[in-house]
Homo-oligomer: A and B are copies of this chain.
């Protein structure tokens, strides 16, 4: 059997480009995909560095001109791994050129951009072109299992959602400035970068939407030394200082459509927490708890169990029946961070082959953007803000 190929162009080759490359490379080796992905072109701003990255990451060609690549007939899908301020332009161009699009989160830096992207995605969809936004944590097996258990009614009516995304990489006030602390480039701080994930995850797991929020943003350290090198998360500090123009931390209360109460935090100042995505959901019949720092585990409490032997179950989400797991290793052989990206490729390729819409859609990404914007507004107005329902 020869499978139709799906020729991919990826734009960007930093942290996310690296993770996406591993996913495109790996997905067809473990999953029986209906289309055969080909890692066709890698695009970067600098031609030499793009060529070097393509060689290292396994892309057949490289280019420094994303517009030219999008125009090529032999490209079927565009995978956007660039910073948020370029998402709208690239995604819109790609969709209009009839290419399927996978776009990293957050979908855009503003609601307006996200609305436009969603509108274009809707048009493209009429022509069989698919668009997906990359909230990969949905594809951690324990998270997929959590979603399934809620869907099966195992925890009943959801009462409480508490979610935190805790990191500590700038807890030290002398940690240098990076582009991620510059609103012009990053759009948002902890709220948009990591808060977006827990917004998406909790809505995905509950199958519900946040209706209103009351939030507070804070910038604890208002000036930092310039980095002598601006390449990413770290760098050596210089003696001059510049302003931090995004939030260091965000916290907000939320009411879900069902009336469930939500409490959210996103921070880069939780000393000792490295990538702690912690979600706990309490329902009338049971509860779920997850922490990405122990990512192969889902805790589950079933209130209907015999009281004598009732307790949170530490489910090792590595059984063949758990989402995505059958393709991998025997029970107890855990997966890692990058597997979520591989699963994302699998779901996207299957949706394209089936002529179905992949999830999360651009509309889903737009809705997350609206929640982020509402939190920011609420922090200024000091009042609750409703989320517009499109």
Interface residues in chain A, defined as those with a beta carbon under 8 Å from any beta carbon in chain B: 15, 19, 21-22, 25-26, 28-29, 56-58, 145, 148-149, 154-155, 159-160, 162, 164, 166-169, 171-173, 214-216, 218, 220, 233, 249, 251-253, 255, 259, 261, 263, 265, 267, 269-276, 282-287, 292-297, 299-303, 305, 307-316, 318-319, 321-322, 328-339, 382-384
Report A31 CB to chain B, min CB distance, Å.
Answer: 10
Supposing A271-B284, A284-B171, A314-B311 touch, asked if A216 and B216 sit within 8 A by C-beta, the answer is no
Report A7 CB to chain B, min CB distance, Å.
Answer: 18
Q: Which of B19, B267, B276, B282 contacts A270 (CB 8 A)?
A: B282
Chain B, residue nearest A217 (CB): B261
Report A153 CB to chain B, min CB distance, Å.
Answer: 13
Report A218 CB to chain B, min CB distance, Å.
Answer: 6
Report A195 CB to chain B, min CB distance, Å.
Answer: 13
Report A197 CB to chain B, min CB distance, Å.
Answer: 13
**Nearest 5 CB-CB pairs, A to B?**
A275-B332, A274-B332, A272-B301, A336-B336, A311-B313
Q: Which of B145, B273, B303, B383 contacts A383 (CB 8 A)?
A: B383
Chain B, residue nearest A216 (CB): B253
Q: Is A272 a contact partner of B287 (Cβ separation < 8 A)?
A: yes
Q: Is A308 a contact partner of B284 (Cβ separation < 8 A)?
A: no
Q: Is B160 a contact partner of A259 (Cβ separation < 8 A)?
A: no
Q: What secondary structure prevails in chain A residues at the interface with B?
A: mixed
Q: Is B287 a contact partner of A273 (Cβ separation < 8 A)?
A: yes
Set of chain B residues within 8 Å of A330, measured between Cβ atoms: 15, 169, 233, 274-275
Set of chain B residues within 8 Å of A337, measured between Cβ atoms: 328-329, 333-335
Chain B, residue nearest A155 (CB): B271
Copy number in the complex reads 4
Report A378 CB to chain B, min CB distance, Å.
Answer: 9
Measured between alpha carbons, how far is A305 from B311 in the docked complex, in Å? 13
Q: Is A307 a contact partner of B293 (Cβ separation < 8 A)?
A: no
Q: Is B384 a contact partner of A265 (Cβ separation < 8 A)?
A: no
Supposing A272-B312, A282-B269 touch, asked if A335 and B336 sit within 8 A by C-beta, the answer is yes
Supply 24 A–B pairs (Cβ within 8 Å), ascending by A: A15-B329, A15-B330, A19-B329, A22-B26, A26-B26, A29-B58, A148-B308, A154-B309, A155-B271, A159-B270, A159-B271, A162-B265, A173-B284, A214-B253, A251-B261, A271-B282, A271-B284, A271-B286, A272-B301, A273-B287, A293-B332, A305-B313, A312-B313, A383-B383
Q: Is A308 a contact partner of B303 (Cβ separation < 8 A)?
A: no
Q: Which of B145, B233, B255 contacts A308 (CB 8 A)?
A: B145
Q: Is B164 a contact partner of A162 (Cβ separation < 8 A)?
A: yes
